[in-house]
Amino acid sequence: MGPIGRLAKARVTTELFDARLAQVLCFIAAVGIFVAVVLKLCRLRLTEEQLIIGLLAAIACSLLLVVLGLLLPISAALRKDRQE
């Protein structure tokens, strides 16, 4: 196998780094989605009921991204323990 083949099989990152990066991206996306939805809901002419349902949906999506971000490092650590 030549040097290009060895380079293609070399590890670029670790699983822990990938999990931390995904965690940070989930947290940033949670804030970004919430802010974008609130700004969009403020521009629309909605009744109070529609506004509350929209805000609850935005909060639910943001919380789901936060939970996903919290579970990613745990999943990576469990995967690492199984391999060892």
Q: Between these two residues, 6 and 57, which has the higher pLDDT value? A: 57
Residue 83 pLDDT exceeds 80: no
Instruction: Write a three-state SS string for the chain.
Output: CCHHHHHHHCCCCCHHHHHHHHHHHHHHHHHHHHHHHHHHHHHCCCCHHHHHHHHHHHHHHHHHHHHHHHHHHHHHHHHHHHHC
Q: Between these two residues, 79 and 42, which has the higher pLDDT value? A: 42
User: Which residue range is the domain that position 31 belongs to?
Assistant: 15-83
Our count of domains for the chain comes to: 1
In this prediction, residue 12 carries a pLDDT of 78
Residue 45 placed within a domain: yes
Residue 20 placed within a domain: yes
Residue 19 placed within a domain: yes
Residue 50 placed within a domain: yes
In this prediction, residue 84 carries a pLDDT of 67
- What's the mean per-residue pLDDT of the chain? 90
Residue 31 placed within a domain: yes
Residue 5 placed within a domain: no
pTM of the complete model beyond 0.85: no
Residue 6 placed within a domain: no
Residue 71 pLDDT exceeds 80: yes
